[in-house]
Amino acid sequence: MLKRLTLPGGMRIREEFNAWLFVLPTALGLLIFQLFPVLFSLYVSFTNWNLITSPKWLGFQNYRDLFTIDPFFVSTLRNTVLYAVGTVSFGLFFAMLVALLLNQQLKGKEFFRAVFFLPVILPTASAALAWTWMYDANAGIINSFLKLLGLAPIPWLVNTNYALWALIIEAIWASLGFNTVIFLAGLQNISKDYYEAASIDGANAWQKFVNITLPLLSPTTFFVLVTSIINAVQIFDLPFIMTGGGPANATQTIVMYIYSNAFRLQRMGLASAVGYMVFIIILGLTYLNFKFEKKWVFYEEAV
């Protein structure tokens, strides 16, 4: 801590009182918009509730129903996991590639960084509309391009095998810049000394990448991995605009499922149960990754 003047008792009370006035809105917000919802939706998830009549206690029935009776939940879960795996794995690969390309002494580095980051700040709904037209099966520019290369056109958004991949590609485009900039910051933290020492020992570029860059970048990789998974699990706007969950529910995601159950069908209990599962998935992923982190994350200070 910084050195402080010792304050007499009265002033300390004044400081305390003032401080609580300063944080009052935030503390209230924490109670009303975070703590209350977390507890309340836990309670609701054990009930049958349409928001109007009083909730009816069901115990674990909502959770059981999701996996047994509900015809859509398991496929929704599978779509979301597939989407997350696709977006995160390919997304991380490309982001690391771009970051490595940018992590050189180049002219126009700032320009490239700004270009790659641009999709991050665009509204998903607006961007998704543009992509919908590019994916158009008959006249979309992507299929036109495939035809030009002599390849068969792909029924992107209208075929159950491709629709999720269409979303994954758009999502990688939208998040590439964010992950790239974080990787770039991580790369810049790696001391040049390691590379110089390796050069003296005669290591080639690939050896340097595998033995220096990858291990020393792993804390960053870990962070990007966790945030990417957490974002991917909560995808909503993209399928809502591009496919509406179709075709044949192939792109129905967890948060879309919550939205339609809660606000279209008034099934608050069921929706809350799904919401809680998202919460538990996020907590679990964070925990697993932190545990995993100890095994493979290499911190420079520990040397």
DSSP state of 298: -
Stretch binding another protein (CB under 8 A), from 10-18, 59-67, 69-77, 85-93: 10-18
Burial class (CB in 10 A: 0-12, 13-18, 19+), 48: middle
- Check binding of 98 to another protein (CB under 8 A): yes
Nearer of residues 41 and 61 to another protein, judged by Cβ: 41
Backbone angles phi, psi at 81, to 5 degrees: -65, -45
- Check binding of 244 to another protein (CB under 8 A): yes
Site for another protein in 11-70 (CB under 8 A): 12, 15-16, 18-20, 22-23, 25-30, 32-34, 36-38, 40-41, 44, 51
- Check binding of 118 to another protein (CB under 8 A): yes
Return the residue of 58, 84, 102, 217 that touches another protein, per CB under 8 A.
102
- Check binding of 207 to another protein (CB under 8 A): no
Long-range pairs of 287-293 with CB within 8 A, sequence gap ≥ 24: 289/222, 289/225, 289/226, 293/219, 293/222
Return the residue of 66, 92, 127, 167 that touches another protein, per CB under 8 A.
127
Return the residue of 62, 220, 221, 252 that touches another protein, per CB under 8 A.
220
**Pairing relation of β-strands 47-48 and 56-57?**
antiparallel
Q: Please give the Cα distance from 113 to 95 (Å, whole number).
A: 11
Give the relative orientation of helices 73-102 and 61-68 as an angle to the nearest 10 degrees.
80
Give the position of tokens 């979303």.
167
Q: Under DSSP, is residue 57 helix (H, G, I), strand (E, B) or coil?
A: strand
Stretch binding another protein (CB under 8 A), from 56-64, 84-92, 178-186, 207-215: 178-186
Nearer of residues 252 and 272 to another protein, judged by Cβ: 272
Return the residue of 82, 187, 190, 282 that touches another protein, per CB under 8 A.
282
Tokens read off for 5: 């003047």
- Check binding of 263 to another protein (CB under 8 A): yes
